[in-house]
Amino acid sequence: MSITNLLNNWSFYRQKRPYQGQYDLNRQYSEYKWAMALDLDICTGCNACTTACYAENNLPVVGKKRFNQGHVMHWIRIERYWDENMGEFPEQGASFLPMMCQQCEEAPCETVCPVGATSHTNDGLNSQNYHRCVGSRYCSVNCPYKVRYFNFWNYPSTAWPAPLPDQLNPDVTVRTKGIMEKCTFCVQRLNEAKSRARTEYRLVRDGEVVPACVQACPTSAITFGNIVDPKSKVAMMWKNQQVDLYKDMQEKDNSVRGYRILEDLRPFPSVMYLERVRDMEA
């Protein structure tokens, strides 16, 4: 963002985001907005997504000691909660919650980064620029979901004893010490699909590209797609669940399951969760 650019487009940069119509199929550079819908009722908590993410995104295995220190790097983690009013036994089972970067539209992490290493892309992703990051970790402090992971160690030198480096995905940077990283919605896959589509004078088709977690999920609990395209499955699901990307709080019917986590903080997340269902009569 040069000063000239800033001055010439002052009103654009001063626009509060997200605004109605920010993403539009007819607008160049805004025809994509990647979003997710995650059904907690059919998520079984099996961790296949986590392992797929390790494989796709070159996540280091940190080992027991560092895991204990809180240095684990799982971009997507499965949280297991017990019910608060649980009696002697968890009679309704556990609640599993896959938590990854929510790619907030008004991301708390973006405003606080002193060097602008994390910023919004045109297709609605919360990007992390590893080369720009100086490692102040302010973004992690301000992330309400705590899904940003900091490279506390120089993992490239320890986490992959030979020949494990042969497995590393060449499309994804291996991060060095001192920088922040997080779920990217597998941006390397998205970019590849976008440029492939561009060479064919079309937009990316629904289902043409999915992140590794979505691809692996045995129950297909995660749906991914371009929410700008009203015919995409994810857009239809959001609409059906009465969750509006541009609204901070949804006003929905009781029977509707869609919600976004910590909406009250107004980060406008791009991941919609569908409530867990339990048969209370059982």
Partner 1 sequence: MVNTYEETEVAVEKRFVPKPLDINADIAWAKINKDILRSLERPRPIFWVIFIASFALFLVGVSCEVYQYQTGLGVANLNNPQVWGLYIATFIWWIGMGHSGTLLSALLHIMHADWRKPIYRYSEAMTTFTLLTAALFVLVHLGRIWQFYYVVAYPNERWTWPNFQSPLVWDATAIGTYLTSSLLFLYIGMIPDLAICRDNAIGIRKKLYTFMSLGWMGTDRQWANFRVTYLTLACFLMPLAVSVHSIVSTDFAASQQPGYHITSFPPYFVAGAIYSGLAVIITLFIVLRYTFRFEEYMTMPILEKLAKLTFAAGMVWTYLNLIEYATTWYGNDMYAKQALIYRATGPFAPEWWMMNFLGSVLPFALTFKRVRASIPVMLFMSIFINFGMWLERWMIISPTLAHGIYPWTWDDDQWPSFVQWGIVAGSFGWFNMLFMLYCKIFPSVSMYEVKEMLHERRFFKSTNVATARDPAINPDLAVEGGLAS
Partner 2 sequence: MGRVREGRVLKMEGNPESKISGGKICGLGQAAVQVQYNPDRLTQPMMRVGDSLQPVSWDKAMALLEEKTGPKSGINGNEFAFMTGAMSGHLKVLVQNYLDSLGSKNHFVYEALSPAVSFAANKQIYGVDMPRLHFDKAKLILSFGSDFLGTGASPVHFAKEYAKFRKAPRGTLIQIEPKMTMTGANADRWIPIIPGTEGVLALGVANQLLKHDDFSKTVPADIVNLVGKYDLDTVSSITSVRSDLIGHLAGLLWEKSPSLVISGASVEGHVHGVQNAAAIQILNRILGNVGKTVDGQAQSPFPQLAPATGSFASLKAMNDGMGAGTYKAVFIYGANPVFTTPSFMGFRDNLRKVPFKVAFVNAVDETAEECDLVLPIYTAVEDFGSHVAWYQPEGVEITMQQPLMDKLYSDTRSMGDIMLDLVKQRRADEYKAWPNFFSYLKTAVTNIKPAVKYTDTDEHFWYDTLSHGVIHVDAPQQQIAENFSTEMLDLPTTVNSPDPKFPFYLIPSERHYFRDGRHANCGWLQESPDPLTTVVWDSWAEIHPKTAASMGIHEGDYLEVSSQNGTIKVKAYLFPGIHPDAISIPLGQGHESLGRFAKGVGVNPFKILNPVFEKNTGELAMFGTRVSVKRTGQSEIVVKDEGPVSTQMGRKLVVTLPADVAQLSKEI
- Residue 137 touches which of partner 2, partner 1, none (Cβ within 5-8 Å per kind): partner 1
CB-nearer residue toward partner 1: 131 or 231: 131
The H or E element that residue 118 is part of is: strand 118-120
71 binding partner 2? (CB under 8 A) = no
The secondary structure of residue 225, as a DSSP letter, is E
Q: Which of 7, 16, 28, 114 binds partner 1 (CB under 8 A)?
A: 114
CB-nearer residue toward partner 1: 3 or 280: 3
The secondary structure of residue 274, as a DSSP letter, is E
CB neighbour list of residue 172: distance below 8 Å, 6 or more residues apart: 56, 57, 58, 188
CB-nearer residue toward partner 2: 112 or 256: 256
Using CA atoms, how far apart are residues 174 and 17, in angstroms rounded to an integer? Answer: 32
Residues 18-57 interacting with partner 2 (rule: CB under 8 A) = 40-42, 44-48, 50-52, 54-56
Q: Which of 25, 86, 134, 249 binds partner 1 (CB under 8 A)?
A: 134
- Residue 55 touches which of partner 2, partner 1, none (Cβ within 5-8 Å per kind): partner 2
Distance of CA 110 to the CA centre of its chain: 14
DSSP per-residue codes, 56-96: HTTPPP--HHHHHHT----SSEEEEE--TT--SS-TT--EE
Residues 3-42 interacting with partner 1 (rule: CB under 8 A) = 3
43 binding partner 1? (CB under 8 A) = no
CB-nearer residue toward partner 2: 42 or 112: 42
User: Which single residue is written with the structure tokens 């809180």?
Assistant: 70
Smallest distance from partner 1 to CB 103, Å: 16
Residues 145-174 interacting with partner 1 (rule: CB under 8 A) = 145-146, 148-154
The secondary structure of residue 173, as a DSSP letter, is P
CB neighbour list of residue 119: distance below 8 Å, 6 or more residues apart: 110, 113, 126, 127, 129
Using CA atoms, how far apart are residues 160 and 157, in angstroms rounded to an integer? Answer: 7
Cis peptide before 211 (omega within 30 of 0): no
103 binding partner 2? (CB under 8 A) = no
Query: Residue 225 corresponds to which amino acid?
Result: G
Q: What track of x and - describes contact with partner 1 for positions 73 through 92 (by CB under 8 A)? A: ----x-x-x-----------
Residues 208-267 interacting with partner 2 (rule: CB under 8 A) = 212, 215-221, 233, 236-237, 240-241, 254-257, 259, 261-262
- The site for partner 1 (CB under 8 A) is made up of 1-3, 66, 69-72, 77, 79, 81, 97, 99, 108, 111-116, 132-138, 140-142, 144-146, 148-154, 177-180, 262, 265
